[in-house]
Amino acid sequence: MQRIYTLEELARFLNRRPKDLIKLAEKDLLHGRKVQGNWTFALPDVVLWMERELTQVDNDTKERLENAVASVAEEHEDVEFRELLSEQLVELSFPARTKASVVAEITKIAETSGMLWDADAMAKALREREEMASTALENGVAILHPRRPQPDIIAQDFLVVAIAPCGVPFGGGHANLTDLFFLLCCQSDASYLRSLGRLARVLNTPGFLDQLRESTTPSEVVDLLARTADSLE
């Protein structure tokens, strides 16, 4: 069943004032519905809003949102960032040249590693998410993910890192090309948001993207991500 929050529940979850959430809802920045005069919010819509917040705001706000999710996540959803990483999930010469081939190739990496059991289903979910709005950011990064968790087709939470040396037109900035692609797949919304929060802070760390682009081996990429994430503890 889809998780539905009342205004008061969501305010506690996000550590925000109810009146601030009402303003966001009235502007449709955070999609909600009024039921018998009371605001309610579906978890997928909350996730979509938090994605934008986590990728666009400053690091202090990212940390507050990440901590807000952490405060309500159950222990079985607590996945350490290092556990998402594997050298098998790193591709330094990503062959994709179009938006469609990005989705096909990045799911192939996950499938080959054994983390993904149904590449076609995941590719469909990624395409549907991209049709809503591009996940490409202004810094040449795209964080692909399904809109809803796909626990039945993944072995565990994981993060694919793919670097396209020539860049791909994917809908973001960075001279209209995206060269750093991430595929984040998690078992639950809570673990996804926590992992997204940490990844967003990693990507915003000064000098990180330059170092990532200069990495020459999968082990360097994994080590860089892990060390940077650890430095944010």
Instruction: Summarize pLDDT for 53-84 with one digit per residue, the tens.
Output: 766 545 555 555 555 555 544 433 456 889 99
pLDDT tens sequence across 127-180:
998 888 788 888 899 999 998 889 999 999 999 999 999 899 987 555 679 999
Task: Supply the pLDDT for residue 77.
Answer: 46
**Range 229-233 average pLDDT:** 85
Judge contact between 222 and 90, C-beta under 8 A: yes
The pLDDT of residue 132 is: 81
pLDDT of residue 54: 62
Look at residue 73 in the predicted model and tell me its pLDDT: 47
Taking 50 as the threshold, does the pLDDT of residue 44 lie above it? yes
Which three-class secondary structure state does DSSP give residue 30? coil
3-state secondary structure of 32: coil
CATH T-level topology, domain 75-231: Mannitol-specific EII; Chain A (3.40.930)
| pLDDT confidence of residue 75 | 39
Average of per-residue pLDDT values in the chain: 85
* 106-124 pLDDT, tens digit each: 999 999 999 999 999 999 9
In this prediction, residues 181-209 reach a mean pLDDT of 87
Ranges of CATH 1.10.10 domains, the chain:
4-56
The CATH fold of domain 4-56: Arc Repressor Mutant, subunit A (1.10.10)
Structure tokens at 41: 């919010």
**Higher-confidence position of 197 and 221:** 221
Residue ranges, CATH 3.40.930.10, the chain: 75-231
Count Cβ atoms below 10 Å from residue 50 Cβ, excluding itself: 22
The full DSSP string for 153-203 is: GBSS-EEEEEEEEEEE--S-STTT-EEEEEEEE-SSHHHHHHHHHHHHHHH
Q: How much is the pTM?
A: 0.79
Percentage of the chain lying above the pLDDT 70 cut: 85
Q: How confident is the model at residue 46 (pLDDT cuts 50, 70, 90)?
A: confident
